[in-house]
Amino acid sequence: MDASEAAEQIAEAGEGDKFRARAALWIGVLALLMAISGLGGGNAAEDMVAANIHASDAWAFYQAKNVRQTANKLAAEQIEAQLLLQGDKVAPQTRKIIEGKIAKMKETAERYEDEPDKEAPNDPLKGEGKKQLMARAKDFEAERDHAGDQDVNFDFADVFLQIAVVLGSVAILAVSRPILLISFVSGSFGALLTLNGFFLWFKLPF
């Protein structure tokens, strides 16, 4: 082996070391991105579950209010019908008392429909009326769907980032720039999806 061949091998070894160092740095960046994506995905999953529970509770409360409202309306209508059938047989004082009870039942039924919070009457999400409960349930459903969209992005981001890490490791062993380039493309997709998981710039078609 002459001096020129030795110099060439040394140069190639030096280039290989630089390549491995850069690839190792890239894998470190991927590991950081995976940690961020995992954290975002975990938070999104927790938010999705919590919002779904709150939505279910709000709808259950809504149904209970609806049952009570219907019961009061039916009771008021039945008493009115009986009062009408009795006609003049009911004493005026008794009729007045019964009519008062009917009016109270109807008032209660109306209150069940729309009962805003006294401390925040203009907030449509606060209160215990059917109107407020429905708005609150739909708001929680919107939060659940938003968190679900985030979670999907984080899930796919994690896949692309893991593929990028594997390819980066293979590139180091093989000292292959094409494989490292594929790793970079996969990692870039993972980084984009991670950012989209936080900001939802666009919605995934699947």
Q: Which sign does the torsion angle of CA 151, 156, 159, 161 carry?
A: negative
Q: Is the pTM of this model over 0.85?
A: no
Angstrom distance (rounded) from CA 58 to CA 146: 18
Provide the 8-state DSSP code for 127: B
Q: Is the pLDDT of residue 50 over 80?
A: yes
pLDDT digits (tens, 9 = 90+) for 160-196: 999 999 999 999 999 999 999 999 999 999 999 999 9
Is residue 186 within 8 Å of 159, Cβ to Cβ? no
SS3 126: coil
Task: Identify the pLDDT of residue 15.
Answer: 64
Is residue 155 within 8 Å of 196, Cβ to Cβ? no
Q: Is the pLDDT of residue 130 over 80?
A: yes
pLDDT digits (tens, 9 = 90+) for 137-170: 999 999 999 999 999 999 999 999 999 999 999 9
